[in-house]
Amino acid sequence: SRTVELRNGVTDSAARVPFRRWIEVELHHVDLGIGYELEDLPEDFTEREIAFLADRFAGHPDVPSTRVTNGTRAWSTGRDSAGDGSAGGDAEVTVTGPAPTLLGWLAGRRDGAALHVEGGPLPALPPL
């Protein structure tokens, strides 16, 4: 339950540090451009990272209330989001697509052009 300070003054619980390291390994492996793609990531990692990023943007004033779904699971993010990963029914925008494509958009590694968006344009996300 201890809080630790990471780079750039970001704080998190010490218990989440191992997952943060797993994120670094998996996403930077994709970034190398050697044939390991977002679609190759373990499914449990992909869903956990989508939830992590949705939580990160929850309550952000520059991101409209957004429902993110892969058709099976759903997460909420943006302003007025509870920040608990629940899929709120009052979202301004709904973004739907395969989990790897959603992760790519949320992580800033894909432009989101392959996603289906209802209720407005695809939200621009702030840099991580």
37-74 pLDDT per residue, tens? 999 999 999 999 999 999 999 999 999 999 999 999 99
User: Positive or negative, the Cα torsion across 56, 59, 64, 67?
Assistant: positive
Q: String of b and e for 48-63 (b: at least 16 CB within 10 Å)?
A: ebbbbbbbbbbebeeb
How much is the pLDDT for 86? 53
Average pLDDT over residues 97-126: 97
Cross-strand partners of 104: none
| Residue 72: domain span | 3-118
Average pLDDT over residues 72-81: 91
Within a domain: 50: yes
Within a domain: 58: yes
Within a domain: 127: no
Q: Which stretch of 1-10, 36-45, 84-93, 106-115 has the lowest confidence by average pLDDT?
A: 84-93
Q: What's the domain count of the chain?
A: 1
Separation CA 55–CA 52 (nearest Å)? 5
Provide the whole-model pTM.
Answer: 0.87
How sure is the predictor about 13, in pLDDT bands with cuts at 50, 70 and 90? very high
Within a domain: 93: yes
How much is the pLDDT for 85? 52
For residue 89, give the CATH number of its domain. 3.30.1050.20
Mean pLDDT of all residues in the chain? 92
